[in-house]
Amino acid sequence: MDLRLYDPFINMTFSEHACFLCGTIVNDAEKITVFPGWLQKRYDLAGKNLMLLDQSTVSFGEMKIPCCPNCEKTVANSDEKVQAATEKGLAGFQELEEKALFLWLAKIFYGILVAELKSERAPLIKPEHSVGENPKMLQKFQSFFMLMQALRVPVEFDDFTPASIFIVPLKQESNEPEFNYRDDITTMMFSLQLDNVLIVANLLDNGFLRKALTPVWRKIEGQELYPIQAAEFAARVYYAAYLFNLVPDYFVRAQKPGDTQLIYDTLVDDITGSIFNPWENDVYATALEKFWMPWHITREQILQNPDFPLSFLLDENGWFRKLESWEIPA
């Protein structure tokens, strides 16, 4: 069994003729869509656009990555597992092995990342911070891609989970299929709404965000959230990711003759510093305002009490707030 790993970030190799997952040379026709075909069909995504950091747009249908036949089979297997889970709704996602969900999300996130890196070569509008020229970001991407190799090579994550993944049940306000997507490349954050399920994930934190947010998660886990509550929870996770200080490193344990899988161990890059920067309500309010844009709630309204920012998720005693209706402060 071939247990060799591939790393396109060593030489920043993102050729249209190199398989995204293993580096095998491919022809122009050997490509797969970043967002699976079944997902695009279910939510009518093919003609809809994504905006990249340089303000250019690309349609879901056009966003593709080169892929060799062997890796295409591997990706198809991953897609089938998640597609089967979606047929069961929330219960399907709760039953799905977290590693399988992580790898499915990782492939989509990586496809978007590649599109961002390519757009930086000739940007429509130059982003304030170029992700491809930041050494710390490149370290993140390499660590992330090493984890994603578990799609094609048998890998055991020994005594760690690479990501924090939250599966949130939603109260749908419509019976129509509903899809929403958000990411933050710099913090490795990714979220998807598929009908009445919201998935919020940090794909490179070794589970630290889940531990840090345990006090909130314990109070809301299993509760159906209204969209305004779900947006607030997502804002908390995204802001926590912004405060996260560490970049995990991963190492392959020494192999023995006859091994049929790789075993990954992990370390963080700086265990002497703080894992998270301090939480600042005024900065959090700026993030929350963006997530609450559909409800036109401003930062000033959020910070009417600076010590206790507006929340539709938790009440004044810190317990889950069961909403029947809500009023936005004037």
The phi-psi region of residue 318 (left if phi > 0; otherwise alpha if psi is between -120 and 50; otherwise beta) is left
**C-alpha angle 322/164/33, rounded to 5°?**
105
Residue 202 has pLDDT above 60, yes or no: yes
Residue 272 has pLDDT above 90, yes or no: no
Task: Please tell me the predicted confidence (pLDDT) of residue 125.
Answer: 47
Alpha-carbon distances of 230 from 209, 288, 292, 310, rounded to whole Å? 17, 11, 10, 14
Tell me which of 6-20, 26-40, 72-86, 95-109 is least confident: 6-20
Residue 205 has pLDDT above 80, yes or no: yes
Dist. CA 151–CA 68, nearest whole Å:
13
Tell me which of 146-150, 261-265, 271-275 is least confident: 271-275
Q: Which residues contact 148 (CB under 8 A, 6 or more apart)?
A: 21, 103, 106, 107, 110
Residue 199, judged by CB atoms within 10 A of its CB (0-12, 13-18, 19+), counts as middle
Mean pLDDT across the chain, nearest whole number?
Answer: 91
Give pLDDT tens digits for 236-247. 999 999 999 989
* Residue 206 tokens, joined: 């070794």
Instruction: Average the pLDDT over 38-63 and give the result.
Output: 91
Task: Please tell me the predicted confidence (pLDDT) of residue 64.
Answer: 95
Alpha-carbon Rg for the chain in angstroms: 20
Give pLDDT tens digits for 84-96. 999 999 999 999 9
Are the CB atoms for 32 and 69 separated by under 8 Å? no
List the beta strands (DSSP E) in the chain. Answer: 31-33, 49-51, 57-59, 64-66, 155-157, 164-169, 179-184, 189-194, 197-202, 248-252, 262-268
Question: Taking every pair of C-alpha atoms in the chain, what is the biggest distance, in angstroms?
Answer: 69
Give pLDDT tens digits for 101-154. 999 999 999 999 988 887 765 544 455 555 556 788 889 999 999 999 999 999
First-to-final CA distance of the chain: 64
Dist. CA 240–CA 276, nearest whole Å:
8
Task: Please tell me the predicted confidence (pLDDT) of residue 124.
Answer: 43
Phi, psi angle pair for 110, to nearest 5°: -65, -40
Residue 180, classed as helix, strand or coil, is strand
pLDDT band, residue 330 (cuts 50/70/90): low
